[in-house]
């Protein structure tokens, strides 16, 4: 059975996902077959595996860092929020229904056998399992329900824990000390070390505080990890990339920041292109006059369309489209661009809603979820002939009544629609290969009278590999990996297995 290490945080956003990804890459570099695991994930950025199953994108990123194919066993339970109190429950890649928070809390323990079976299956196949917790282990009101999330999971699989605090937000000593103080004695004993994350400055200035922290908690500080600029896909809408102003570049791309935005990682390849500046707009005033408007995916298309309408953004997008500004809709954004959205079975909010009317399409929602990875060739105007490799993940079907399809799938079916300067498609990940990114950049630069770069865009895969190595280098140089290996040995459940620090 595999050795394991669990990364828990003092709060959401402390950097657990990236630290886990770094450890996956480090163990891979050290020659160990490594897999990530997270018992329960809550996020709208999901991933479709090659066998058409759905999992959290954070574990897909960690799998890629480990050099292996993402597998739903790595994230057996996924919650996709659909409202402030409810989520769609996905177990081992399949939709199990819609649950309000209280209802899910009551049935959660019944999922332990499936979660544990998924973990044991991975542990029998790999040398090392890097486990990620969720939120904070010190949510004392939820402790009884921590069946397979933080310390509950650590106990189930006998994992040592690294507790991570975020110094960038301030109060990191209180975060770490307070979290440790609220844990039960057996839980504190499981913490192999404390990690201070996202530090900017001279680590020597922290030394008096580190010594006091170790004295008060009785837990060693195993590292101060610097704030890293490695560009790794984010897990959910708490991502700083949705808030910060992006670097100004020759081409201005505005992505509408929908309240329930999902899979915004679609735009990571655009953000890394030297000529494309990507920013997120959540008001008509901030939208301005970009060179391209993108309507992204969303977990609740109808509700977000109403928000778009009420905020004045719909009118602003329609005005830009009429003036010739290109508009691209992806998945839920594509559905919004059509003529009507019908929900006869109450999958979203029920009833029928008028679309934006920019594409000759009609969408009907149904309980069946489409999940598939697929290749396609673009047929729409300036992008015709470009080959893409993406995935579909949506509820409902959209029928085009006029115009041309955006692309033709490898199955021979048509997808999406294109009319003039407006384009729509169900395919996520369409920019990942780099070919469509390059063609889009050249087209948008040409519209501005600028010469496109003669340098081909680096493929997303090659770019990601460099970023994983940068992240791993930063963590390895600042984290006591010898102590991490020793903790993994100490907690090994089944013999020594030959692992050595």
Q: What is the pLDDT of residue 500?
A: 36
pLDDT tens digits along 259-311: 999 888 899 889 888 889 999 999 998 999 999 999 999 989 999 999 999 99
Angle between helices 313-322 and 301-310 (to 10 degrees): 80
Residues 198 and 73 in one domain: yes
Does 351 share its domain with 484? Answer: no
pLDDT band for position 21 (50/70/90)?
very high
CATH of the domain at 218: 3.40.50.300
> Same domain, yes or no, for 442 and 482?
no
| Claim to verify: residue 34 and residue 168 sit in the same structural domain | yes
pLDDT over 90 (residue 77): yes
| 307 and 439 both lie in a single domain | yes
Looking at the domain assignment, is residue 456 inside a domain?
no
Please check whether residues 197 and 309 belong to one and the same domain: no
pTM greater than 0.85 (yes/no):
no
* Judgement on whether residues 352 and 477 belong to the same structural domain of the protein: no
Is the predicted pLDDT of residue 141 greater than 90, yes or no?
Answer: no
Q: Catalytic pick from 4, 24, 331, 407?
A: 331
- Kindly give the pairing relationship between strand 128-132 and strand 161-166: unpaired
For residue 229, is pLDDT > 60?
yes
Claim to verify: residue 475 and residue 444 sit in the same structural domain? no
362 domain residue, yes or no: yes
Q: Which domain holds residue 323?
A: 251-449
316 and 411 inside one domain: yes
- Residue 238 has a pLDDT of 46
More confident residue, 84 or 487: 487
Distance between CA atoms of residues 20 and 237, nearest Å: 19
pLDDT at 454 over 80: no
Q: Residue 500: inside a domain, yes or no?
A: no
Query: In the predicted model, is pLDDT for residue 145 greater than 70?
Result: no
Residues 264, 253: Cα–Cα separation, whole Å: 14
183 and 34 within one domain:
yes
- The Cα–Cα gap between 2 and 23 comes to 15
Tokens for 419, please give them: 């009319």
* 297/44 Cα distance (integer angstroms): 10
Please state the rounded mean pLDDT for residues 469-481.
95
Average pLDDT, the chain: 89
331 is catalytic: yes
Distance (Å, rounded) from C-alpha 10 to C-alpha 197?
A: 11
For residue 180, the model assigns a pLDDT of: 94
* CB neighbour list of residue 264: distance below 8 Å, 6 or more residues apart: 45, 234, 237, 239, 241, 242, 255, 296, 297
Whether residues 261 and 183 share a domain: the answer is no
- In a 13 Å sphere around the CA of 329, the CA atoms on its Cβ side amount to 32
Cα 165–chain centre separation = 20
In the set 273, 361, 407, 428, the catalytic residue is: 428
What is the number of structural domains in the chain?
A: 2
- What is the model's pLDDT at position 148? 87
Does pLDDT of 501 surpass 50? no
């Amino acid at each position: 059975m595999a050795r394991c290490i669990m990364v828990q945080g003092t709060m959401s956003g402390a950097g657990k996902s990236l630290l886990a990804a770094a450890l996956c890459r480090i163990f891979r570099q050290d020659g160990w077959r490594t897999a990530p695991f997270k018992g329960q994930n809550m996020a709208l950025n999901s991933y479709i595996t090659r066998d058409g199953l759905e999992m959290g994108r954070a574990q897909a990123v960690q799998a890629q860092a480990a050099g292996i194919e993402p597998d739903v066993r790595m994230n057996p339970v996924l919650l996709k929020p659909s409202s402030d109190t409810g989520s769609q429950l996905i177990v081992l890649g399949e939709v199990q229904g819609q649950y309000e928070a209280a209802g899910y809390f009551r049935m959660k323990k019944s999922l332990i056998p499936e979660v544990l079976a998924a973990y044991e299956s991975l542990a029998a196949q790999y040398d090392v399992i890097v486990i990620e917790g969720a939120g904070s282990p010190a949510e004392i009101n939820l402790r009884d329900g921590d069946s397979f999330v933080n310390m509950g999971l650590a106990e189930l699989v006998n994992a040592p824990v690294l507790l991570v605090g975020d110094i960038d937000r301030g109060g990191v000593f209180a975060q770490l000390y307070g979290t440790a103080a609220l844990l039960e004695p057996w839980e504190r004993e499981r913490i192999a070390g404390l990690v201070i994350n996202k530090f900017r400055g001279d680590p020597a200035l922290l030394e008096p505080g580190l010594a006091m922290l170790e004295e008060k908690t009785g837990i060693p500080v195993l590292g101060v990890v610097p704030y890293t600029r490695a560009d790794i896909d984010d897990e959910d809408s708490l991502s700083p990339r949705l808030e910060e102003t992006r670097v100004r570049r020759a081409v201005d791309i505005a992505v509408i920041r929908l309240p329930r935005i999902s899979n915004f990682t679609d735009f990571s390849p655009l953000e890394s292109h030297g000529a494309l500046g990507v920013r997120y707009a959540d008001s008509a005033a901030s939208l301005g006059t970009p060179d391209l408007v993108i309507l992204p995916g969303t977990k609740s298309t109808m509700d977000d369309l109403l928000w778009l309408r009420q905020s004045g953004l719909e009118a602003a997008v329609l005005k830009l489209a009429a003036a010739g500004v290109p508009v691209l809709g992806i998945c839920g954004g594509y559905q919004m661009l059509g003529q009507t959205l019908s929900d006869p079975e109450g999958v979203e909010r029920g009833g029928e809603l008028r679309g934006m009317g920019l594409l000759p399409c009609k969408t009907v929602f149904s309980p069946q979820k489409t999940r598939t990875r697929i290749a396609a060739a673009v047929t729409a105007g300036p992008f015709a002939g470009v080959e893409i490799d993406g995935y579909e993940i949506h509820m409902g079907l959209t029928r085009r009544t006029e115009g041309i399809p955006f692309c033709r799938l490898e199955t021979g079916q048509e997808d999406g629609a294109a009319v003039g300067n407006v384009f729509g498609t169900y395919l996520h990940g369409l920019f990942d290969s780099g070919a469509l990114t390059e063609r889009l950049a050249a087209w948008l630069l040409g519209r501005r009278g600028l010469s496109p770069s003669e340098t081909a865009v680096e493929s997303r895969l090659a770019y990601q590999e460099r970023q994983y190595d940068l992240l791993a280098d930063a963590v390895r140089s600042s984290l006591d990996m010898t102590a991490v290996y020793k903790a993994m040995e100490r907690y090994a459940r089944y013999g020594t297995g030959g692992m050595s620090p």
